[in-house]
Structure 1
Amino acid sequence: MINMVALMGRLTYEPELRKTPSDVSVLRFQVACDRSYQRAGAERQADFIDCVAWRQTAEFISRYFHKGSMIAVEGTIQTSNYTDKNGNNRKQIEVLANNVSFCGSKSESGNAAPTGGYNEPAPSYASADNSDFEEIVDDDDDLPF
Protein backbone atom coordinates (compact mmCIF):
# COMPACT_ATOMS: atom_id res chain seq x y z
CA MET A 1 0.00 0.00 0.00
CA ILE A 2 1.20 3.50 -0.79
CA ASN A 3 0.34 6.72 1.01
CA MET A 4 2.61 9.49 -0.28
CA VAL A 5 1.93 13.20 -0.70
CA ALA A 6 4.04 15.92 -2.32
CA LEU A 7 2.84 19.53 -2.12
CA MET A 8 4.26 22.88 -3.07
CA GLY A 9 2.48 26.09 -2.22
CA ARG A 10 2.33 29.05 0.14
CA LEU A 11 1.54 29.14 3.84
CA THR A 12 -1.86 30.75 4.40
CA TYR A 13 -1.21 32.00 7.95
CA GLU A 14 1.67 32.55 10.34
CA PRO A 15 2.73 29.17 11.78
CA GLU A 16 2.52 28.91 15.58
CA LEU A 17 4.58 26.31 17.41
CA ARG A 18 2.82 24.57 20.30
CA LYS A 19 3.86 21.94 22.84
CA THR A 20 1.96 18.88 24.02
CA PRO A 21 1.67 18.24 27.77
CA SER A 22 4.66 15.88 27.38
CA ASP A 23 6.70 18.76 25.79
CA VAL A 24 6.60 17.49 22.18
CA SER A 25 6.60 20.23 19.52
CA VAL A 26 3.62 20.31 17.14
CA LEU A 27 2.67 22.79 14.44
CA ARG A 28 -0.47 22.92 12.31
CA PHE A 29 -0.33 24.88 9.07
CA GLN A 30 -2.17 25.23 5.79
CA VAL A 31 -0.72 25.24 2.28
CA ALA A 32 -2.47 26.96 -0.64
CA CYS A 33 -1.77 25.10 -3.90
CA ASP A 34 -2.90 26.56 -7.22
CA ARG A 35 -4.72 24.12 -9.45
CA SER A 36 -3.00 23.39 -12.74
CA TYR A 37 -6.08 24.14 -14.84
CA GLN A 38 -8.62 26.90 -15.07
CA ARG A 39 -11.72 27.45 -17.16
CA ALA A 40 -11.56 30.05 -19.89
CA GLY A 41 -12.48 33.43 -18.43
CA ALA A 42 -12.53 32.09 -14.88
CA GLU A 43 -10.25 32.97 -12.00
CA ARG A 44 -7.56 30.43 -11.08
CA GLN A 45 -8.66 28.12 -8.26
CA ALA A 46 -6.56 26.95 -5.31
CA ASP A 47 -6.81 24.12 -2.82
CA PHE A 48 -6.16 24.81 0.87
CA ILE A 49 -4.58 21.74 2.43
CA ASP A 50 -4.30 21.27 6.19
CA CYS A 51 -0.98 19.88 7.43
CA VAL A 52 0.62 18.98 10.74
CA ALA A 53 4.30 18.64 11.66
CA TRP A 54 5.87 17.19 14.79
CA ARG A 55 9.16 17.54 16.69
CA GLN A 56 12.15 18.91 14.69
CA THR A 57 10.08 19.40 11.54
CA ALA A 58 7.63 21.59 13.48
CA GLU A 59 10.47 23.61 15.02
CA PHE A 60 12.12 24.05 11.60
CA ILE A 61 8.92 25.41 10.04
CA SER A 62 8.33 27.73 12.99
CA ARG A 63 11.84 29.13 12.75
CA TYR A 64 12.20 29.67 8.99
CA PHE A 65 8.72 29.96 7.41
CA HIS A 66 6.12 32.71 7.63
CA LYS A 67 2.74 33.55 6.17
CA GLY A 68 3.12 33.63 2.36
CA SER A 69 6.35 31.61 2.32
CA MET A 70 6.66 29.07 -0.46
CA ILE A 71 7.13 25.58 0.99
CA ALA A 72 7.50 22.04 -0.34
CA VAL A 73 6.03 19.30 1.84
CA GLU A 74 6.53 15.55 1.62
CA GLY A 75 4.34 13.40 3.80
CA THR A 76 1.35 11.12 4.16
CA ILE A 77 -2.39 11.61 4.42
CA GLN A 78 -3.89 10.77 7.77
CA THR A 79 -7.55 10.73 8.72
CA SER A 80 -9.26 10.81 12.08
CA ASN A 81 -12.86 10.72 13.26
CA TYR A 82 -14.10 12.76 16.21
CA THR A 83 -17.24 14.21 17.75
CA ASP A 84 -17.41 18.01 17.87
CA LYS A 85 -18.72 20.03 20.83
CA ASN A 86 -22.25 19.92 19.36
CA GLY A 87 -22.23 16.11 19.23
CA ASN A 88 -21.78 15.87 15.44
CA ASN A 89 -19.51 13.20 14.00
CA ARG A 90 -16.66 14.74 11.98
CA LYS A 91 -13.82 13.47 9.85
CA GLN A 92 -10.50 15.28 9.68
CA ILE A 93 -8.11 14.81 6.76
CA GLU A 94 -4.61 16.29 6.91
CA VAL A 95 -1.10 15.77 5.62
CA LEU A 96 1.45 14.57 8.15
CA ALA A 97 4.60 16.43 7.06
CA ASN A 98 7.63 14.16 7.19
CA ASN A 99 9.97 16.47 5.28
CA VAL A 100 9.76 20.15 4.30
CA SER A 101 11.97 22.23 2.03
CA PHE A 102 12.47 25.82 0.96
CA CYS A 103 11.16 26.87 -2.46
CA GLY A 104 11.75 30.06 -4.37
CA SER A 105 14.52 32.61 -4.04
CA LYS A 106 15.94 34.23 -0.91
CA SER A 107 14.29 37.51 -1.86
CA GLU A 108 10.85 35.84 -1.93
CA SER A 109 11.32 34.38 1.53
CA GLY A 110 12.56 37.64 3.05
CA ASN A 111 16.03 36.16 3.74
CA ALA A 112 14.40 33.76 6.19
CA ALA A 113 16.56 30.87 5.03
CA PRO A 114 19.61 30.07 7.13
CA THR A 115 22.97 30.81 5.55
CA GLY A 116 24.44 27.78 3.86
CA GLY A 117 20.91 26.45 3.43
CA TYR A 118 18.96 25.22 0.48
CA ASN A 119 19.20 28.48 -1.46
CA GLU A 120 22.99 28.51 -1.67
CA PRO A 121 24.14 28.22 -5.30
CA ALA A 122 26.02 25.11 -6.32
CA PRO A 123 29.79 25.58 -6.67
CA SER A 124 31.05 26.23 -10.18
CA TYR A 125 33.62 23.80 -11.53
CA ALA A 126 33.97 25.52 -14.89
CA SER A 127 36.71 27.90 -13.75
CA ALA A 128 39.82 28.63 -15.77
CA ASP A 129 42.07 26.97 -13.16
CA ASN A 130 41.47 23.22 -13.37
CA SER A 131 44.83 22.27 -11.84
CA ASP A 132 43.18 19.76 -9.49
CA PHE A 133 41.69 17.83 -12.38
CA GLU A 134 43.44 15.60 -14.87
CA GLU A 135 42.26 15.85 -18.45
CA ILE A 136 40.59 12.71 -19.78
CA VAL A 137 41.75 11.76 -23.25
CA ASP A 138 39.47 9.52 -25.30
CA ASP A 139 42.06 7.35 -27.06
CA ASP A 140 40.65 4.00 -28.16
CA ASP A 141 43.69 3.02 -30.29
CA ASP A 142 45.31 0.94 -27.48
CA LEU A 143 42.28 -1.28 -26.83
CA PRO A 144 42.80 -5.00 -27.66
CA PHE A 145 39.32 -5.45 -29.14
Structure 2
Amino acid sequence: MNKVVLVGRLTKDPELKFAQGTGTAVATFTVAVNRRFKREGQPEADFIPVVVFGKQAEATANYMSKGKLLSVSGNIQTRNYEAKDGTRRYVTEVIADEVGFLEYGGKKEDVSTNETQNNGYNGEITPIDDGDIPF
Protein backbone atom coordinates (compact mmCIF):
# COMPACT_ATOMS: atom_id res chain seq x y z
CA MET A 1 0.00 0.00 0.00
CA ASN A 2 1.34 3.41 -0.99
CA LYS A 3 -0.58 6.14 0.88
CA VAL A 4 0.68 9.47 2.23
CA VAL A 5 -1.10 12.05 4.38
CA LEU A 6 0.70 15.33 5.11
CA VAL A 7 -0.18 18.52 6.96
CA GLY A 8 2.16 21.43 6.50
CA ARG A 9 2.76 24.90 5.13
CA LEU A 10 3.52 26.02 1.59
CA THR A 11 7.11 27.15 1.15
CA LYS A 12 6.15 29.37 -1.81
CA ASP A 13 3.15 30.04 -4.02
CA PRO A 14 2.04 27.00 -6.07
CA GLU A 15 3.19 26.98 -9.70
CA LEU A 16 0.40 26.28 -12.22
CA LYS A 17 1.08 24.93 -15.70
CA PHE A 18 -1.02 23.24 -18.35
CA ALA A 19 0.05 19.99 -20.02
CA GLN A 20 0.70 20.25 -23.75
CA GLY A 21 -1.84 18.46 -25.89
CA THR A 22 -4.37 17.66 -23.15
CA GLY A 23 -4.50 21.08 -21.48
CA THR A 24 -4.71 19.45 -18.04
CA ALA A 25 -3.86 21.78 -15.17
CA VAL A 26 -0.78 20.75 -13.16
CA ALA A 27 0.20 22.51 -9.94
CA THR A 28 3.51 21.90 -8.22
CA PHE A 29 4.46 23.09 -4.76
CA THR A 30 6.54 22.18 -1.74
CA VAL A 31 5.09 21.52 1.71
CA ALA A 32 7.15 22.07 4.87
CA VAL A 33 6.10 19.38 7.36
CA ASN A 34 7.36 19.66 10.93
CA ARG A 35 9.01 16.61 12.41
CA ARG A 36 7.63 15.19 15.61
CA PHE A 37 10.85 15.56 17.58
CA LYS A 38 13.16 18.55 17.89
CA ARG A 39 16.94 18.51 17.71
CA GLU A 40 18.67 20.68 20.30
CA GLY A 41 15.48 22.62 20.99
CA GLN A 42 14.99 23.65 17.37
CA PRO A 43 12.06 22.27 15.35
CA GLU A 44 13.00 20.48 12.15
CA ALA A 45 10.97 20.19 8.98
CA ASP A 46 10.98 18.07 5.86
CA PHE A 47 10.36 19.81 2.54
CA ILE A 48 8.24 17.55 0.38
CA PRO A 49 7.49 18.24 -3.30
CA VAL A 50 3.85 17.72 -4.32
CA VAL A 51 2.12 17.51 -7.72
CA VAL A 52 -1.66 17.80 -8.17
CA PHE A 53 -3.70 17.64 -11.38
CA GLY A 54 -7.00 18.97 -12.76
CA LYS A 55 -9.47 21.20 -10.95
CA GLN A 56 -7.72 20.70 -7.62
CA ALA A 57 -4.53 22.03 -9.21
CA GLU A 58 -6.32 25.16 -10.36
CA ALA A 59 -8.02 25.69 -6.99
CA THR A 60 -4.77 25.19 -5.10
CA ALA A 61 -2.93 27.69 -7.31
CA ASN A 62 -5.76 30.23 -7.10
CA TYR A 63 -6.57 30.07 -3.39
CA MET A 64 -3.37 29.05 -1.60
CA SER A 65 -0.20 31.06 -1.13
CA LYS A 66 3.14 30.92 0.65
CA GLY A 67 2.85 30.11 4.35
CA LYS A 68 -0.72 28.78 4.26
CA LEU A 69 -1.54 25.54 6.06
CA LEU A 70 -2.87 22.68 3.96
CA SER A 71 -3.33 18.92 3.97
CA VAL A 72 -2.32 16.58 1.17
CA SER A 73 -3.41 13.00 0.63
CA GLY A 74 -1.89 10.91 -2.15
CA ASN A 75 0.92 8.50 -2.96
CA ILE A 76 4.69 8.65 -3.29
CA GLN A 77 6.10 8.32 -6.77
CA THR A 78 9.70 8.06 -7.89
CA ARG A 79 10.98 8.73 -11.39
CA ASN A 80 14.23 9.48 -13.15
CA TYR A 81 15.26 11.31 -16.28
CA GLU A 82 18.36 12.34 -18.15
CA ALA A 83 19.27 16.01 -17.64
CA LYS A 84 20.57 18.26 -20.40
CA ASP A 85 24.12 17.79 -19.12
CA GLY A 86 23.80 14.02 -19.60
CA THR A 87 23.51 13.06 -15.93
CA ARG A 88 20.73 10.88 -14.56
CA ARG A 89 18.40 12.73 -12.13
CA TYR A 90 16.13 11.02 -9.59
CA VAL A 91 12.94 12.60 -8.27
CA THR A 92 10.69 11.54 -5.38
CA GLU A 93 7.40 13.42 -5.03
CA VAL A 94 3.86 13.07 -3.71
CA ILE A 95 1.14 12.79 -6.33
CA ALA A 96 -1.88 14.29 -4.57
CA ASP A 97 -5.37 12.82 -4.77
CA GLU A 98 -6.79 15.43 -2.40
CA VAL A 99 -5.65 18.83 -1.18
CA GLY A 100 -7.42 20.36 1.81
CA PHE A 101 -7.25 24.08 2.54
CA LEU A 102 -6.78 24.32 6.29
CA GLU A 103 -5.94 28.02 6.24
CA TYR A 104 -6.87 30.45 3.50
CA GLY A 105 -8.04 34.01 2.96
CA GLY A 106 -6.36 36.97 4.62
CA LYS A 107 -3.54 36.91 7.12
CA LYS A 108 -3.73 34.31 9.87
CA GLU A 109 -4.51 37.03 12.44
CA ASP A 110 -7.36 38.37 10.29
CA VAL A 111 -8.97 34.93 9.95
CA SER A 112 -9.02 34.26 13.71
CA THR A 113 -10.33 37.77 14.46
CA ASN A 114 -13.15 37.41 11.93
CA GLU A 115 -14.13 34.02 13.29
CA THR A 116 -14.47 35.33 16.84
CA GLN A 117 -16.37 38.43 15.76
CA ASN A 118 -18.73 36.63 13.37
CA ASN A 119 -19.53 33.50 15.35
CA GLY A 120 -23.27 34.18 15.19
CA TYR A 121 -23.73 34.98 18.91
CA ASN A 122 -22.85 38.69 18.87
CA GLY A 123 -21.98 38.57 22.57
CA GLU A 124 -25.42 37.22 23.59
CA ILE A 125 -24.20 34.05 25.33
CA THR A 126 -26.02 33.12 28.52
CA PRO A 127 -23.90 31.25 31.07
CA ILE A 128 -25.31 27.93 32.32
CA ASP A 129 -24.89 26.57 35.84
CA ASP A 130 -24.12 22.90 35.24
CA GLY A 131 -23.66 22.01 38.89
CA ASP A 132 -26.83 19.84 38.94
CA ILE A 133 -25.81 17.66 35.97
CA PRO A 134 -25.01 14.11 37.26
CA PHE A 135 -22.10 13.40 34.89
What is the distance in 1 between the residues matched to 2:10 and 2:49?
10
Q: Which has a greater percent of helix?
A: 2
Q: Which has the larger radius of gyration?
A: 1
Superposed, 1:71-90 pairs within 5 Å as 71-90=70-89
- Counterpart residue type for residue 20 of structure 2: P
What SS does the corresponding residue of 2:84 show, helix, strand or coil? coil
Superposed, 1:62-141 pairs within 5 Å as 62-104=61-103, 108=108
Structure 1: stretches of 5+ with no match in the other structure = 112-120, 122-145
CA shift for structure 1 position 69: 0.6
Superposed, 1:50-61 pairs within 5 Å as 50-61=49-60
Q: What TM-score do you get using the length of structure 1 for normalisation? A: 0.69
Identity rate, percent: 37
What is the distance in 2 between the residues matched to 1:14 and 1:87?
30
What is the distance in 1 between the residues matched to 2:110 and 2:29?
19
What is the distance in 2 between the residues matched to 1:110 and 1:90?
43
What SS does the corresponding residue of 2:60 show, helix, strand or coil? helix
Post-superposition Cα deviations, 1:32-88, rounded to whole Å, max 9, x if no partner, equal 01111013x342111000000111110110121111110000000011111111111
Which ranges of 4 or more aligned residues in structure 1 deviate by more than 2 Å?
A: 104-111
RMSD: 2.0
Q: Provide the aligned length of Structure 1 versus Structure 2.
A: 110
* Equivalent position of 1:133 in the other structure: none
CA shift for structure 1 position 109: 8.7
What is the distance in 2 between the residues matched to 1:14 and 1:81?
25
Q: Which has a greater percent of strand?
A: 2
* Equivalent position of 1:26 in the other structure: 26
